[in-house]
Structure 1
Amino acid sequence: MRIHHLDCGCMCPFGGALFDGFSKGPRAHLCCHCLLLETDRDGLVLVDTGFGEGDVGDPSRLSRMFRLLNNIQFDPARTAVAQLRKLGFQAADVRHILLTHLDFDHAGGLADFPNATVHLMQDEHAAVQQLRGFLPRRRFVPVQWRGISRWQLYREEGDQWYGFESVRSVVDDVLLIPLRGHTAGHAGIAVRGEDGWVLHAGDAYFFRHEIGQTSRRCPPGLRLYQRLMDTDHDRRVINQHRLRALSLEQPQLAIFCSHDARELARYS
């Protein structure tokens, strides 16, 4: 299986290094790290979609609060469908999309791939059926998945993967790893590539130094944003601690999150 690392969205919140740990100017640089998988049997597979053509064409469909807070850059060249075309593929070639969760910066491109089956944890799908409260009504954008009928939903059951419960999807060598806390049904996506397993941890952590070392380090702006977006803080902290332990126990594993631009550059 060949793995392509894509950046399907740029967010540049004001605060610079207080958010990303490296920017010299007033604006930070956060990415939307997605994967394109070329499989032998299952065609093309996407892991998350970032912002889609619908978001770029009509930014107002996203919450004004998040557009301003994250200073989202609506660049059509960054959409997953545009990057696929640049690689010589068409939207119709994508047969499966696996989502870590349904936040606005992960599910925006679903409608760009109408032939794909969308794989998601059942708890995540259930949580967005009736949105209540100030934050849920702004972070989840039902128009992004309106009209999607081909859902494949999963419960927390199945094989073990390095000590984590895992759910084997219908796609060969791709697993959903329940990592709830950031959202009700948040999951990581484990992929067996040519050089071994990689784990797309989604938003289970946000900053590269939250794993790979014995103690967590995260810029204060990003730390606050993570706390703001928790749906189950205790569970998110537990799962992040488990990922940090895994990264130390199995240093050969490639683990990365959704929004750290330095991580994306390392794998790209």
Structure 2
Amino acid sequence: MKIHHLNCGTDCPIGGALFDGRSLGPLGRIVCHCLLIETRAHGLVLVDTGYGLRDVAHPHEHPQPRITLPWRMMLNIRLHERDTAIRQVEALGYRASDVRHIIATHLDFDHAGGLEDFPQAKVHVMQREYDDATGPREGIVARNRWRTRQLNDVAQWRRYGASGEPWFGFDAVRDLDGLPPDILLVPLPGHTWGHAGVAVRRKDGWLLHAGDAYFYRGEMRGARRRCTPGLRAYQRLMEVDVTSRLDNQARLRRLSVERRDEITVTCTHDPVELERCQSGCPL
């Protein structure tokens, strides 16, 4: 399988290095790292979609905006059609219909905005995430993070329970409908209750896209957690359970250290991790 590392959306929050750990100016840079996987027998597989065409064209339609004003202002979201997953798929010479599967780490607005751009794809997600995203939403974070306008036109949901076979000490959901056993869901609750990572077996070992289980490169591959103040605060704002989030993050950190030769762990929003994955450099 060949894996392309795409940036399907950019946020530029005020605070610079207080968010991304490296910007010299007042604005930071936070990416939406998605995977495009080429398989021989199963077509193209996307892991998350970032922002989509309708987000770019109509981000604040009333009465139910696709992305709400408080989150657009807080994150200083930059919406460009060229960054959408569909346009990047087309730039590689493919069509939307070639994407037969989308695996969602979760359904937050910055991960699920492009689902509708691939109407023929099966969308794989944890059952709890689907229930929380499409059901009644209480609280300001829940009402802002899950946007029904991004989900209404998705026709082919595939939903999974949390139990499964072990994968390096984590539960895993194998045998995703229509997908090879080399791609599996790894439940990682805390950011949302239905949040999951996506593990992909490559020739040289496993790649684990951990979604929003962590946000900053310093939270992995070291004995101690390091995170910028801005991203530390944003993770606290968006979490549903601090204990589950930090426990799973600590387990991932141990995995990234103890199994470094076997497993590459990356997340959604760190630009340095994305750049290293795109260049083939080790994380």
Question: Under a length normalisation based on structure 1, what TM-score does the superposition of the two structures give?
Answer: 0.99
Q: Which amino acid aligns with 1:14?
A: I
Q: Which of 221, 233, 236 is residue 224 of structure 1 equivalent to?
A: 233
**2:97 matched to 1:87?**
no
Residue-pair matches, total: 268
* Alignment root-mean-square deviation, CA: 0.7
**Structure 1 unaligned regions, length at least 5:** none
Q: Look up the match of 1:29.
A: 29
Partner residue of 1:8?
A: 8
**What's the secondary structure of 2:237's corresponding residue?**
helix
Q: Which runs of 5+ in 2 are unaligned?
A: 279-283
Identify which range, 73-82 or 121-130, moves more after superposition. 121-130
Structure 1 distance, partners of 2:117, 2:167, is: 32
Taking the TM superposition and a 5 Å limit, the aligned residue runs for 1:218-257 are 218-252=227-261, 253-257=263-267
Preserved contact between residue 209 and residue 216 of structure 1 (Cα < 8 Å)? yes
Query: Structure 2-normalised TM-score?
Result: 0.94
Is residue 2:272 matched to residue 1:267?
no
Q: How far 1:135 sits from its partner (Å)?
A: 1.4
Offset of 1:246 from its aligned partner? 0.5
Secondary structure of the residue aligned to 2:186 is strand
**Whole-angstrom CA distance in 2 between matches of 1:197 and 1:134:** 37
Give percent identity, aligned residues only: 52
1:194 positional shift: 3.0
What is the deviation of 1:149?
1.9
Contact 2:220 2:256 in 1 (8 A): yes
Are the equivalent residues in 2 in contact too, given 1:2–1:194 (CA < 8 A)? no
Alignment of 1:61-72 (within 5 A): 61=65, 62-72=67-77
Structure 2 distance, partners of 1:217, 1:132, is: 32
**Residue 142 of structure 2: aligned partner:** 136
Q: 2:188 aligns with which of 153, 167, 179?
A: 179
Letter in 2 for 1:43: G
Q: Is the 8 A contact 1:208 1:260 kept in 2?
A: yes
Quote how far apart the aligned CAs of 1:48 are: 0.1
Q: For the residues of structure 2 that align with 1:64 and 1:177, how far apart are their CA atoms? A: 32
Deviations 1:9-57 (A, max 9, x none): 0000000000000000000000000000001111000000000001000
In 1: Cα distance, 2:236 partner to 2:42 partner: 37
